[in-house]
Amino acid sequence: MSWKKAFEMGVGAFKEKRYEHAVELFTQSIDADNTHPHVFDTRAAAYEQLKRYREALSDTRKSIGLQPGRYQSYFRTARIFQSMGKNDRCLQMVEAARKRLNPSDAGYPKRIEELAKIEQSAREAEARRRAHVDPLRKLPLELLVDICRLVVQELDVEHPRGASHFAITLGSVCQSLRELVHSTPWFWQSLTISERYFGRKSSFWLDRLDGQPLYSLSLVGLNPTDSKLRPFLEATAPGSWKHLVIVGSSLHVRETYDLVRHLDLRLHSLGIKTPPEGPMQSIQPYDPFEALSLISPPPNPQCTRKLSLHIGTLSMSCATLPHITHLDLSFNKLISSQLEPLFYFLRTVPNLRSLIIRPANVFVNNQHPDLPALPDFKDLPVLRLENLEELRISTIGPLHSLTTLQFPKLQILDLQQLPVAKPAILLRYLIECDSSDKPPLRELRLSRVAMHPPLLLSLLTIFCETLETLEVSYCSALPIEALSTLSFPRLRDVNFSGTDELRGSELVKLVKNGQGMIRNVVIDACSNVNSEALPWLRANVTGSVSCVYKTRAEAKSRRRDRLL
């Protein structure tokens, strides 16, 4: 079939509104001869009717490439851009089409009127869009800069990377805000920099800062022997840093840490992260007491001061860390003068609001003869932590003390990999406290914790009214009857993975009692949850339902066995 015959048949199909068939015929015509711009333009019209705008734009571009002076292709492109909501591109095409009109043509007035209608419609749509998504353009530039600076500082109080994320988001809104971000030094005060292209990146960032100090700095995998590192750090006004994170190999991080310790720092948070040490490595231990001099004292009790150490060996040589409010520790060896590390940390940091202890392995606590002796906590009947709101513990070392912990403000309790007796020591206060002293516990996570079901039942009974997140995974201690008898009015997220006793009927009752408030359910490796309950759960849980009952290796092995 010739290109002309296929084209004429395609025009007939288009007039009969058989657009799919018209596209096929126009394609046959193009395959036979692809030098005719009006064939591409007509196929673009068919694509436009099918709302396949990308294919339509591709054809109009090809038509313009074959005949740059063709008015119809520009007009159709403008109409397609308008349908896609790209009003600025639509207006550009309208102007391009207007330039290609000949006033002496008979159809000139009609075409001018068509272009005017599209232009007016695009301008009105763009005005409506800007009225909703770009109200910041109405603010004076100085006021907008002050607002954004306050947002950056507020984000960085708890999230050191918040400023950079906010700047990226703001710069994506429109061109005017992107230019604002590029030209405002306040948006460049948060930096994560690595060894790759360090010289070029550091020079670029100093240029963007334009004399302003850095607010948040993350050094990732840097070589401390780089001659450009120290001048760059000094040029960013270290005394104004609020957050510092050092990440990399054990040796390089230790040397970088020693380098910045000699700067005049007044940090709000300090983070150090290295991989766990091997048996043959000998890196100088990190002592929180050394880091204390880098962290500024809080001007009032509401301010936060965070120390995060994910390292190989930790050495505790001080009797108190008065500035710290958030302590996050991960290590595989502890050197101290106290046998019971948990009580040591709690006693050493009196103003703690958050304590996270995640040893890389079941660590060894070595008593060091040169370290000062601390009080014997076994003789202390009660240790009251007035400010503690978050406690996350896993694989903590020896814990034999009879001291009762009291935390009246506790909101988050996360226990992992604890043997028998340790949970009872940690949970005693929650079970026995007076109702007037009961903490507002909203998140409870127990994973691979050896405990007796009656203890957990008592805990759930006391805090069922306030719990928003509940995880009891791989514990074999979940009292199944509690799911149907207790009411959890605020419960949002549930994780019962690895609970063999759990059945689908109990989950259905839990979700029904939650009155549609439960948003996520995780029941991985729950072999007795019948598949018939899953469709109902997915339909009545607002978020997601995870039910992975085999690992990939187990599933692959099962498929292989079926083929034998």
State phi, psi for 401 to the nearest 5 degrees: -65, 150
Residue carrying the six token digits 């079970």: 431
> Please, what is the average pLDDT of the chain?
82
pLDDT tens column, 138-175: 666 666 666 666 665 555 444 444 455 556 566 666 66
In a domain, 223, yes or no: no
Nearest-angstrom CA–CA distance, 196 and 202: 11
Show the tokens assigned to 426: 């940690």
Q: What is the mean pLDDT of residues 400-423?
A: 78
**Measured distance CA(417)–CA(360) in Å, rounded:** 12
- Cα separation, 114 vs 116, in Å, equals 5
The DSSP bridge partners found for residue 357 are 329, 393
For residue 465, the tally of other CB atoms under 10 A from its CB is: 12
Reported as a single tens digit per residue, the pLDDT across 333-377 is 777 765 566 677 777 787 889 999 887 654 455 656 566 665 555
Among 163, 290, 146, smallest CA distance to 218 is for: 163
Using the structure block, give the residue that is written with the tokens 């990999």.
417
**What is the C-alpha separation between 304 and 226, in angstroms, rounded?**
33
39 lies in some domain: yes
Residues 6 or more apart in contact with residue 8 via CB below 8 angstroms? none
Q: Range with the lowest mean pLDDT among 427-431, 440-444, 558-562?
A: 558-562
Q: What is the DSSP letter of 138?
A: G
Tell me the backbone φ, ψ of residue 418, rounded to 5 degrees: -115, 135
Which of the two residues, 253 and 426, has the higher pLDDT score?
253
pLDDT surpasses 90 at 234: yes
Q: What is the per-residue pLDDT for 461? A: 92
- 562 has a pLDDT exceeding 50: no
- Whole-number Å distance between alpha carbons of 292 and 503: 51
Is 65 within a domain?
A: yes
Please state the pTM of the whole predicted model: 0.67
* pLDDT: which is higher, 113 or 151: 113
- Look up the CATH number of the domain holding residue 534: 3.80.10.10
Q: Which of 116, 135, 154 is the last residue of a domain?
A: 135
Strands of 313-315's sheet in order across: 313-315, 333-336, 364-367
**Helix/strand/coil (H, E, C) string of 408-470?**
CCCCEEEEEEECCCHHHHHHHHHHHCCHHHCCCCCEEEEEEECCCHHHHHHHHHHHCCCCCEE
Query: Which residues have C-beta within 8 Å of that of residue 483, sequence separation ≥ 6?
Result: 506, 507, 509, 510
Q: What percent of the chain has pLDDT over 70?
A: 79
Task: Point out the domain boundary residue: 97, 120, 135.
Answer: 135
Tokens (6 digits) for 532: 């018939």
Buried b (16+ CB within 10 A) or exposed e, 110-143: ebeebbeebbeebeeebeeeeeeeeebeeeeeee
Backbone φ and ψ of 76, nearest 5°: -65, -40
- Cα atoms in the 13 Å half-sphere on the side-chain side of 279: 0
Query: Is pLDDT of 18 > 50?
Result: yes
Residues paired with 216 in a beta bridge: 190, 243
Q: Within a domain: residue 80?
A: yes
* Within a domain: 195: no
Tell me, yes or no, whether 314 lies in a domain: no
Dump the DSSP string for 168-232.
HHHHTT-HHHHHHHHH-GGGG-EEEEESTTHHHHHHHHHHHHTTPPPSEEEEES--TT-TTHHHH
The answer to whether residues 228 and 202 touch, using CB atoms and an 8 Å cutoff, is yes
Sequence-separated (6 or more) residues with CB below 8 Å from residue 177 = 134, 136, 170, 171
| Predicted pLDDT at 241 | 92
CATH code: domain of residue 74: 1.25.40.10
Secondary structure (H, E, C), 20-49: HHHHHHHHHHHHHCCCCHHHHHHHHHHHHH
* 3-state DSSP assignment of residue 528: coil
Residue 39 pLDDT level (bands cut at 50, 70, 90): very high
In 3D space, the residue among 262, 194, 259 whose CA is nearest the CA of residue 222 turns out to be 194
Structural domains in the chain (count): 2
Query: Nearest-CA neighbor of 274 among 345, 316, 333, 210?
Result: 333
The burial of 453, by beta-carbon neighbours within 10 Å (0-12 exposed, 13-18 middle, 19 or more buried), is given as middle
Rounded to the nearest 10 degrees, what angle do helices 162-171 and 141-158 cross at? 140
Q: Mean pLDDT throughout 192-211?
A: 88
d(CA 287, CA 314): 6
Q: pLDDT-based confidence at 564, cuts 50/70/90?
A: very low
Q: Report the alpha-carbon distance of residue 373 to residue 100 in Å, rounded.
A: 90
Assess whether pLDDT exceeds 80 at residue 242.
yes
Domain annotation covers residue 418: yes
Residue type, 467: L
Q: What is the pLDDT of residue 541?
A: 87
Closest CA to 266 of 229, 238, 306, 236: 238
Question: Tell me: the pLDDT tens digits for 465-524?
Answer: 999 999 999 987 888 888 878 888 999 999 999 888 888 888 888 888 876 689 899 999
Residue 110: phi and psi, rounded to 5, are -65, -40
At which residue do the structure tokens 């100085």 appear?
142
Domain end point (choices 112, 135, 158): 135
Domain that holds residue 38: 3-135
Residue 53 lies in a domain: yes
> Other CB atoms closer than 10 Å to residue 207's CB: what's the count?
10
The fraction of the chain above a pLDDT of 90, given in percent, is 34
In this prediction, residues 412-425 reach a mean pLDDT of 78
Predicted pLDDT of residue 561: 45
